[in-house]
Amino acid sequence: MFLWPLLLVLAPISVQSDWLSIDMPYYAYEGDQVVVRCSGRDNNKIKRLTFYKDGAWLPAYYNTYIISNARPSDSGSYYCKAKRKVFLFIDDTEQTRSAWLTVRELFPAPQLTTRPLQPTEGASVTLSCGTQLPADRSETQLRYSFYRGGYTLRSDWDSPEFWISEIWKEDSGYYWCEARTVSHSVSKQSQQSYIQVQRIPVSGVLLETQPQRDQVVKGETLVLVCSVAKGTGKTRFSWHREGTRESLGQKSQRSQRAELEIPVIRESHAGRYYCTADNGYGLIQSEAVNVTVRIPVSRPVLTFSVPGAQALTGDVVELRCEDKRASPPILYRFYHENVPLGHTSAPFGGGASFNLAVTARHSGTYACEANNGLGAQRSNVAVLHVAEFPPKIRLMNGPHHCEGRVEVEKEGRWGTVCDDGWDMKDVAVVCRELGCGAAKHTPAGMLYLPVAEEDQPVFIQVALCNGTEETLAECEQVETFDCGHDEDAGAVCEGKWNNTWSSYRAGKRSNTQHS
């Protein structure tokens, strides 16, 4: 009978009183750390402390329960209980009042928007990941990530917008974004949005050449540029030449123009060219462009109309300058000792001539220059010899034209000179007249075989030269009265002789012998 009242005294009781209190915020935001504390008037008397949410026991450490990363599911009614020692073996149970915690949404799930809504290929696109922070948390920093399908486009971006500089048809697909706090405590994803990239068919196909002219120069580089006025995406360009089935080249690229280079143009590249373009909606062909290959001038050839480039004063000499392969029109210029003489044009190609009435001063070097607008080229130097009328004297049958039997011409006939009084002064005049070197000897004419014909006259008995005359005809002479060919005079000069004269005299001698 006495045990029952004692058990009633010792049994714990739960009393909501001010002796035990709970301390916690009444609201928090997602991702916050929430601390729930319970304390009594004399914590030393607390033997055990437990926390509850909505009547469910919560694990706690000592007098604190911590929600490290709050979520909306953490909203609810919180309270705690404490068992405290009252007297000896008597314990009492205290319970706090209930405290309500509301975990607010830090920001709603973002929405992905696209500008423009229906992009075309090659255009730029802006993706926006929109969400809203509460006014009292506006300083919270968020990071944004953007995705297409299973691929990350941008991660931990500090801007809610992501700019795609160029978008293509194959980029069509499902896009979504994610917004999260810097600490990653709160992370939310948008719904997926499908972006359909529109492709524009090609049109306005045009073929152009670089350099931009209808004529190209042999040896240069020709670039064929194929372009489209409209068209997006990967376009297949192809180049063709009329009359041939094979393609000159093909390129597939995301561009409205493509180039095909012919590194070195040859004459065989002349013709009509066109290109085609196709981005999957059908092949479109350009108009044909005619390509003419121009040939620059090469080194022209200068020739004279007179044989051996030897002329006499008063002759009209034709200077002919020619480049047979250069493209017309060609302008030819003629030079004497690098001084311009004049010019003439060949509008249809080929060569051109320049006529020159020559005097002795026209002897010397000549050159010509050809220019068809693609650069000038000059010929090699050619030498023209212009002589006065031929001297009426020659040396026959010697080893060269400056040695031999002396003969003079009168009235178209050649005769010999008698050696009466023949000396070095006379030989000096002969050498001077023939353009040879200094006088050396006065040999007998009979030494130069064959001797003169019997019917060949002897024109001069004695030549009375003082050695300063230019020609033998200027010397005083005694006509023949008694002299035969056994007394014919000879002359030896140094071998510095004039090529013009020697060639002319050789030809003249040949004509005389034939006559």
Distance in angstroms (rounded) separating the CA atoms of residues 76 and 36: 13
- For the chain, residues with pLDDT lower than 70 are 1-17, 86, 88, 214, 388-391, 496-515
Nearest one of 47, 15, 54, 52 to 36, comparing CA atoms: 52
* C-alpha–C-alpha distance, residues 309 and 198, integer Å: 79
Cβ(431)–Cβ(439) under 8 Å? Answer: yes
Residue of 168, 199, 202 whose CA lies nearest to 275: 202
Strands (E), 326-441: 330-336, 339-346, 350-357, 364-371, 376-378, 382-387, 393-397, 403-410, 413-417, 439-441
Residue 10: per-residue pLDDT: 39
pLDDT digits (tens, 9 = 90+) for 188-228: 999 999 999 999 999 999 999 988 776 788 888 999 999 99
d(CA 253, CA 255): 6
Two tokens at 374?
């693609």
By CB atoms closer than 10 A (0-12, 13-18, 19+), residue 355 is exposed
Longest dimension (CA), the chain: 207
CA–CA distance, 132 with 374 (Å, rounded to integer): 71
Confidence (pLDDT) at 265: 87
Is residue 155 classed as helix, strand or coil in its secondary structure? strand
Which one, of 25, 24, 55, 43, lies nearest residue 82 by Cα? 43
Phi/psi of residue 24, nearest 5 degrees: -165, 155
Query: Looking at residue 218, what is its pLDDT?
Result: 87
> Which tokens is 463 given?
């030549």
pLDDT of 7 = 36
> Residue 231 phi/psi, 5° resolution?
135, 135
pLDDT at residue 43 in the model: 81
pLDDT at 230: 92
> What is the pLDDT at residue 88?
67
What pLDDT digit, counting tens, does each position of 229-269 carry?
998 888 999 999 998 878 899 999 988 999 999 999 898 88
> Peptide bond preceding 296: is omega within 30 degrees of 0, i.e. cis?
no
- For the chain, the straight-line distance linking the first and the last C-alpha, in angstroms and rounded, comes to 188
